[in-house]
Amino acid sequence: PDLLVSLFYHYHADNDRFTDNAFIQDCKEQKQTISYCSVNAHWQNGIAEKRICDLQDSTRTQLLHATHRWPQATTAHLWPYGLRYSSVIANATINTTTGESPLERFSQVAVRPKLRHFHPFACTVYVLTPIPHQIRRSIRD
């Protein structure tokens, strides 16, 4: 935990949760500084806004693909799950210039993603269950 705390020297945040006194006090105790964006001034935090835009675009694409493949089961209620999956993919994707993923960069540990674990969002999944007499037979053996 101390390793990760030492990575952050300054926060540039919006005026919402980060104005909480407990957060500000903790920043002071950790010898960190904080600055705030103006109201409705999204251009002041361009890196975060670009990431949000990319995640929204990825989620929208995944939901459109899922709707095309399985329209009966895909609704807008899947948006949070698609957004989370987009974030997982973005954090595991290796940057071609640095050769490491955002997860590796943050944790400072070489953790390569297992690409076989990534599947299209909302793809059909079949669960194969054994027939009851097969279960009894395997218990006896």
What pLDDT is attached to residue 110?
Answer: 87
What pLDDT is attached to residue 137?
Answer: 57
* Burial class for 81, CB neighbours closer than 10 Å (0-12, 13-18, 19+): middle
User: Is the pLDDT at 100 greater than 60, yes or no?
Assistant: yes
CB 43 within 8 A of CB 37: no
Mean pLDDT of 91-115: 88
What pLDDT is attached to residue 136?
Answer: 58
Q: 122-133 pLDDT, tens per residue?
A: 887 788 877 766
Q: How far, CA to CA in Å, does 103 sit from each of 8, 9, 44, 87, 119? A: 15, 19, 24, 11, 19
User: Is the pLDDT at 138 greater than 90, yes or no?
Assistant: no
CA 77 from centroid of its chain's CA atoms: 18
CA 38 from centroid of its chain's CA atoms: 26
Mean pLDDT of 34-55: 84
Confidence (pTM): 0.71
CB 10 within 8 A of CB 32: yes
Round to whole Å and give the CA distance between 103 and 92. 6
